[in-house]
Structure 1
Amino acid sequence: MNSNYNFEQRSRMDRAKGEVKKIKAFYSHVLVFVVINLMIVVLNIQALEPGESYFHFENFFTLTFWGFGLLVHGLSVYLPNWVLGKNWEERKISEYMNRYKKR
């Protein structure tokens, strides 16, 4: 019984560490996104001719497509718990473990 408890606790700890790692990776992605896009904005503004408008599609190309990728990354980190519930992963693991015990 004690070893089973240790296994469950270790398993939960591993899953928690995995979740924290995913969130940390997402935050790092956000930070790089902001820094790089700010640099692009500054460079684009410096390259403008006098009186030229900044609002051209090519000035927003990276922001738009990378922003979409960032959105997908964020959804992959936060959406599963929101849609499936916090205990979904644990329930599914228990379900599969019970199936394997029956075999």
Structure 2
Amino acid sequence: MENEELYKQAKERVAQLKVFYKHLFTYILVNSGLAILNLTTSPESLWFYWPMLGWGIGLASHSFSVFGFGKLLGKDWEEKKIRELMNKYKDD
């Protein structure tokens, strides 16, 4: 692989990480604010965990795509599966 290609891949990865960390920071900031607002205005009726839960599912999905689960069905998997199927079709 050429240096230019490696640089491009590294730059794309840094961009993915940057977007994820911004998402995480915003999640923490906003949900902390919602928790404080809820606990100071109506502590007898807790509701702040609902947006935290919903957004948390989205954040977890984002983290899987950046750090893990995306590798299971990512580009490498696609290429490997295509080669596997091509060999299978060739044998048939």
TM-score between both structures, scaled by the size of structure 2:
0.71
How do 1:13-52 and structure 2 match up within 5 A?
13-48=7-42, 52=44
Unaligned runs of 5+ in 1: 96-103
User: Quick one: which of 34, 48, 51 aligns to 1:59?
Assistant: 48
Which structure has more relative contact order (CA 8 Å, sep 6+)? It is 1
Aligned-residue sequence identity (percent) comes to: 26
Which runs of 4 or more aligned residues in structure 1 lie more than 2 Å from their structure 2 counterparts after TM superposition? none
Residue deviations 1:67-98 (CA, integer Å, cap 9, x gap): 000000000001134x47xxx38xx4xx9xxx
User: What is the rounded CA distance, in whole Å, between the counterparts of 2:9 and 2:26 in structure 1?
Assistant: 26
Aligned-pair Cα RMSD in Å? 2.9
Letter of the aligned partner of 1:63 in structure 2? M
Unaligned runs of 5+ in 2: 83-92
